[in-house]
Amino acid sequence: MRRTPRDSAESVRKISRRGVMLGGLQLGFAGVLAARMQFMQVEQADEFRLLAEENRINLRLIPPARGQIFDRNGLIIAENAPSYRITIVREDAGDVADVIARLSTLIELDEDELNRALTEMNRSAPFLPITVADRVSWEDISRVAVNAPALPGVTPEVGLSRHYPMTTAFAHVAGYVGPVSERDLARYEDPEPVLRIPRFQIGKVGVEAKYEEILRGRAGAKRVEVNAVGRVMRELDRREGEEGADLQLTIDGRLQDYVRARLGEESASVVVMDLEHGDILAISSSPAYDPNKFVRGISVEDYGMLRDNDHRPLASKTVQDAYPPGSTFKMVTAMAALEAGVIGPEETVWCPGHLEVGGRRFHCWKRAGHGHMNLEASMRESCDVYYYDLALKVGIENIAAMSRRLGLGVAHDLPMSAVTSGLIPDKAWKLRERGSSWVIGDTVNVAIGQGYVLTSPLQQAVMTARLATGRSISPRLVRSIDGVETPSQGGESLDLNENHLRWIRRAMFSVSNNRRGTGYGSRIAEEAFRMAGKSGTSQVRNISAAERARGVINNNDLPWNRRDHGLFVNFAPFDNPKIAVSVVVEHGGGGSSAAAPINRDVTLQALYNGNPPLSAYPSKDHERIKAQQEQLSRERQIPDPDGPSRA
Amino acid sequence: MSYLEYSVKTVPAGLRKVLHLNWPLVLLLTAVASVGFLMLYSVAGGSFEPWAGPQMKRYILGLVLMFMVAMVPIWFWRNLSVVAYLLSIVLLVVVEFFGSVGMGAQRWIDFGFVRLQPSELMKFTLVMLLAAYYDWLPIRKTSGILWVIIPVIMILLPTAMVLTQPDLGTALLLVFGGGLMMFLAGVHWAYFATVFAAGIGGIATVLKSRDTDWQLLKDYQFRRIDTFIDPSSDPLGAGYHITQAKIAMGSGGWTGRGFMQGTQSRLNFLPEKHTDFIFNTLAEEFGFVGAVSLLILYVLILVFCITSALQNRDRFSSLLILGVGLTFFLYFAVNMSMVMGLAPVVGVPLPLVSYGGSAMLVLMVAFGLVQSAHIHRPR
C-alpha cells in the first residue's frame, strides 16, 4: 500500500483555510436561523399567539329557551315540551351497522331518517353525535336506556320542542314554529348567529312569527377548546343567554275553545272583542289545522289535504279574508247620513220594492216593498231602498269617511299573519284602480254593503265595538309581554253625536228584540244580557237577469260554494255593552239564520263566563240548546267548570 | 513514513483510548438527544410511549456503536471506505426493488428490528469515500479535470438513485455535502463558480419543465415549492402544515408556553410533530430561549468538530471530520429553515431529536468515526 506523507504543510494549510471559511459560513447561517427565531418568537409573537388562540378556541352558541304563550287566565297556548331523540356517536359505536341492527329490534326506525343519518355520519367527524331517531316516545327511550350496555355509542337525548297543547284552537292565532329556511335568513340584514344552529326553530306564522324577536330571547355562548379535528377538549367559560319573554294574550282560552267546538267543521270566523280595552277575547277561524304537525315537519300528504280542502283550513279567515259586509254595513250608511244631517230618525222613506237610479232599477230584497220606513224599521227589517235613498243624499265620500272612522278599510295592528285592510271604495280609488269614474250606481251598491266594499270579520267586530262605545276602540291581542302590560286600546271618543249613536243602537236592539226584527229568532231572553245586532247576507254569485226575473232562488238549491255568506254582528248587553261579536259563516246562507245563532251562543258564553243557564234562551229553544250544550261539552278540551248546563 | 511508524508510539492503545475520546462532543450529543427525549415525551402527551422510550433505547445503542467504532483505528475505516460506499449503492438498488413505500416514496428496508434507510447511510459513506479519495490523490492533481470528474460521478450516482425514490431532500443533501467536500479538499474555485452558474440555469430549467412532457419533478414537489413561496395559496392542504408550524413556533414567544402546555402540538394542529416538525414543539413550549439553546448546542457540536479537524494533521481524518460535521450542519440547518418557513418542506429530520431509528444510528456511527479520527490522530 502506497503511503505518502499526509501532513505536508500545504495540504494542512489548505484544509485549514477552507475549513475555517466553511465553518464561518456555517456559523453565519446559524446566526441567520437565530435571527429568524428572534423575528418569529419575539417580534411576531403576539400575532402568532393570537392565531394559536383562534385555532384552539371555538365559540359555541347556547340556544335560548323560547318564551311561552299564555291566554288571559294563564292557560298554556305554546310551551316547550321535552322531546326525546336517539343519537349515535360513530367512534363509540364501533360497528355502526351492527348497533343500528340491534337498535331497530328495540324501536322502530324510519328508513329515510336512518339513511340521512348514515350519510351525515360518514361525512362528519367520528366523535359527533348524529340523530338517528327524532321525537321518540318515552317508552322507546326507556327501552333504549335499559339496553344501553348492548348499544355502545347510542345515547338517548332530551331536548326542548315547541308544543301547542290546545292543538287546533289557537292555530291561526299563535301560529307555529319551524326550522329556519334560507328565505328566513334572507329576510335579515345580518342574521343572528343563533339562527344558523341546525334545527333551530323560529316563528313562521301568527304571534310566533310577529313576536319572534321577543319570544326567541338571546343566545348564550360558551368558549370551548377544540383540537385540530374539532373535538371539544374542555369548556373554558360560558355566558348564559337570556330566555325569551313570555307573552300573555288577551284571549280567553275557554271561550276560544268553545268557539272552536261550536263552529265544528263549518267554514266560518268568529271575533269576540271586549269593549273596555279592545281585548280580543276569542278569534277563531274554522276549520283549523294542528300546528304541532308543522313543528314536526308536516308530511306532503297531510299538507296536500289542508291545501286542497275547499273549507281552507290554512287561511286565517278572521283577519285575512274580506267579504262584502252586506246589510251589516247599513249602520255605517245610516251613521254617515245622521252625522251629515241629511235625515232624522223619524223621517220616512217610501219603499215600493225597488228604486230607479240612473236608468237602472235597484231592488229591495223584499219585492213587495216595505212601505213607509224610518231608521229603526229599516234597520229592523233590513229594507234596502231606505239606504239607497240615504246614500244618494249623503254621497260616497261621507260614507267612506264614516267607514274609516268606524275601523273599516284600515288594517288593524294585530300580530297575526296577513291582516287585510279590506276595501272602502271612493271616487279616487275607483279612478286609480279601475280607471273609470264613479257612477251613482256604485254609491247605491255600497249603501247596502255590496259592490266594491269589503270588510274582514275583525273589522266588523271593531265597527260594532265603536258603534257600541262611541270610542275609537282598536283590537288588542297581546295583553302583556314578559309581565309588562301593553297599553289599553280603549281609544278616544270618536266625536260622534251621542243621540245619533243611541238611535243606531236602538235600531240594532230592535233587530234582535223586535218581533219583526231579522234577528228575533236568535234573541237573548235574559233581560240583563239582551243583545243588539245586525244581520247581513253577502252575495257570492252575480244574480243574472233571468234569475232576477224568476225571483230569488232558495240558497239551499245551490252548490255549497255558490251559496251566500251569512254575517251577523252584535254587541251585548244592550244596557251596558261589554262585548262585540262578529260572525261570518261562509256559504251559510242568510246572516240571521246561519250566523245569528252563533252570535247568541258565543255572547252568552262570554257574558256568563261559562255555559249559560237555559233560561237565558227563549223557551222554544231550550231542548235544542240543551242537546247542543251536551254535545259540545264532549268536544271541548276545557270542560265547563259547572258541567254541561246550569239549568 | 509507514502508518505503523506514525501510530505505534504516539497513538493511545487499549482502554487508554477511552480517556482520549472527545468527551465534550459525547456530552453535547447526549444533551441534544436528551432534548429530543423531552420533546418526544411531551408530544406523546406526557408518556414514554410510543416515542420517547424507543428513542432512548436507540440512543443507547447508538452510543455503544459510537464507542465501538471509535476504538477501531481510523486507517482501518479509511481502507473500508470504498466497500462501505459500494454497499450503500447496493442497498439503494435493493431499496428500489424491495423497499417499503412510505409517503409515496420508496425509502426503507425493513430488517425487523430496524428500518434502514440506505439514503441515510449514503450521506456518510459518500463523505468517507471522498475523504479517502482526496487522501489518496496527490495534491497537485486535485484540480485536474479528470480528477474532478471522478468524485463528481461518485456524488451523482447515489444522488440520481435517491432522486428516483423520490427523495428530493436527501438528494440535495448529497449534492451539497459532496460538493463541499470537494471544496474542502482544495478543488479550484473556477469549478464551483461554473457549477453555481449551471445550478442557477438548472433550477430555471426545472421550474420551466412544469406542466410539460418532460416535467423533471413530481407534481407534489412543485406544489411544495408553491406552498413555500406562498403558504396561504393552499391554506387547507400543504400550506396548512407550514402555517400551523409557524403559528406553533411564533406563539411560543420569549419563554414558551411551558412544558406540555403547547396548544398547537397538544391539540394536533401541528403536523408530524414527532418527526420533521419537532422543533416547533420545542419552540412553542420553551420559546425563543429553548429554540436558541438547541441551536447553540448544535453550533457547539460543529465547533468541536471543526476544532478537532483543524488539529488533525491526517488529511483523511481532517476531511472526514469536517465532512461529518458538514452533513450534520446541513441536516439541522435545512430542517430548521424548513420548519421556520425559510425553505420548502423537503422532509429532512432534525438530527438526534426527531423520532427515527436509522437516522440516529447512522449519525452515531458517523460520530464514532469522528471520535476514532480524534483518538488516532497523529501526534
* CATH value at residue A228: 3.90.1310.10
What pLDDT sits at residue A98? 85
A347 with A489, same domain?
yes
Mean pLDDT of A600-615: 93
Mean pLDDT of A166-181: 90
Mean pLDDT of B105-123: 73
**Which residue range(s) make up the domain with A346?**
253-609
User: Given a cut of 90, is residue B62 above it in pLDDT?
Assistant: yes
Q: Tell me, what's the ipTM?
A: 0.90
**A30 located within any domain:** no
User: Given a cut of 80, is residue A15 above it in pLDDT?
Assistant: no
Grid cell 452558474 — which residue? B197
**A25 located within any domain:** no
pLDDT band for A509, please (50, 70, 90 cuts). very high
Q: What angle do CA A344, A345, A348 make, to 5 degrees?
A: 85
Count CA atoms closer than 13 A to B159's CA, side-chain side: 15
Q: Per residue in A297-327, pLDDT tens?
A: 888 898 999 999 999 999 999 999 999 999 9
- Chain B residues in contact with A229 (beta carbon < 8 A): 268
**Minimal C-alpha gap between B97 and chain A (Å):** 37
CB contact under 8 A, A15 and B186: yes
Q: Least CA distance to A230: which residue of chain B?
A: B267
pLDDT band for B102, please (50, 70, 90 cuts). low
Spell out the SS3 assignment of B212-253: CCCCCCCHHHHHHHHHHHCHHHCCCCHHHHHHHHHHHHHHCC
What pLDDT sits at residue A603? 96
A214 with A315, same domain?
no
Q: Are A596 and A521 in contact (CB under 8 A)?
A: yes
Count CA atoms closer than 13 A to A626's CA, side-chain side: 10
Nearest-CA neighbor of A584 among A266, A159, A124, A186? A266
Single-letter code of the amino acid located at A627: A
Q: Report which secondary-structure segment, H or E, holds B64.
A: helix B52-71
Cβ neighbours of A491 (radius 10 Å): 18
Among the options A327, A378, A538, A592, which is catalytic?
Answer: A327
CB contact under 8 A, B268 and A227: yes
**A378 located within any domain:** yes
Q: Report which secondary-structure segment, H or E, holds A157.
A: strand A154-163
User: Given a cut of 50, is residue B104 above it in pLDDT?
Assistant: no
For an interface test with A, give the residue of B241, B251, B266 to mutate (most A CBs within 10 A): B251
Q: Are A41 and B249 in contact (CB under 8 A)?
A: yes
Q: Are A133 and A86 in contact (CB under 8 A)?
A: yes
- In the numeric block, which cell numbers belong to residue A551? 225571483
Q: Are A566 and A594 in contact (CB under 8 A)?
A: yes
Interface A:B, Cβ pairs < 8 A: 154
For an interface test with B, give the residue of A2, A3, A4, A11 to mutate (most B CBs within 10 A): A11
What pLDDT sits at residue A3? 42
Cβ neighbours of B168 (radius 10 Å): 21
SS3 call for A36: helix
Nearest-CA neighbor of A216 among A74, A79, A64? A64
User: Given a cut of 70, is residue A549 above it in pLDDT?
Assistant: no
pLDDT band for A263, please (50, 70, 90 cuts). very high
**A220 located within any domain:** yes
A344 with A235, same domain?
no
A239 with A382, same domain?
no
Number of domains in chain B: 1
Mean pLDDT of A75-86: 89
Mean pLDDT of B67-75: 91
Number of domains in chain A: 2
Please state, rounded to an integer, the average pLDDT across all residues of chain A: 88
A204 with A262, same domain?
no
Q: Least CA distance to B247: which residue of chain A?
A: A48
**Minimal C-alpha gap between B324 and chain A (Å):** 12
**Minimal C-alpha gap between B211 and chain A (Å):** 34
Nearest to A40 among B1, B186, B249 (CB): B249
A333 with A456, same domain?
yes
Q: B298 or A233: which carries more pLDDT confidence?
A: B298
**B9 located within any domain:** no
- Chain B residues in contact with A33 (beta carbon < 8 A): 295, 333, 336-337, 340, 342
Strands A69-70 and A247-249: parallel
| % of chain A beyond a pLDDT of 70 | 94
Q: B231 or A274: which carries more pLDDT confidence?
A: A274
**B8 located within any domain:** no
**A120 located within any domain:** no
| % of chain B beyond a pLDDT of 90 | 43
A205 with A319, same domain?
no
CB contact under 8 A, A41 and B247: no
A488 with A511, same domain?
yes
What does the alpha-carbon distance between residue A392 and residue A520 come to, in Å, rounded to a whole number?
30
What pLDDT sits at residue A226? 81
| % of chain B beyond a pLDDT of 70 | 91
What does the alpha-carbon distance between residue A408 and residue A540 come to, in Å, rounded to a whole number?
20
What pLDDT sits at residue B99? 66
pTM of the model: 0.70
Q: How far is CA B264 from CA A236, B38, B197, B239, B260, in A?
A: 17, 17, 42, 16, 11
**Minimal C-alpha gap between B335 and chain A (Å):** 11
What pLDDT sits at residue A117? 82
Q: A568 or B12: which carries more pLDDT confidence?
A: A568
Mean pLDDT of A372-388: 93
- In the numeric block, which cell numbers belong to residue A262? 261550536
What pLDDT sits at residue A396? 94
User: Given a cut of 70, is residue B111 above it in pLDDT?
Assistant: no
- Chain B residues in contact with A16 (beta carbon < 8 A): 310
User: Given a cut of 70, is residue A541 above it in pLDDT?
Assistant: no
**A377 located within any domain:** yes
Q: Per residue in A325-365, pLDDT tens?
A: 999 999 999 999 999 999 988 899 999 999 998 888 898 98
Q: Per residue in B232-287, pLDDT tens?
A: 666 556 677 888 888 898 998 898 888 888 888 888 888 888 888 999 999 999 99
- Chain B residues in contact with A44 (beta carbon < 8 A): 250
- Chain A residues in contact with B247 (beta carbon < 8 A): 48, 51-52, 55
Catalytic (active site) residue A472: no
A199 with A265, same domain?
no
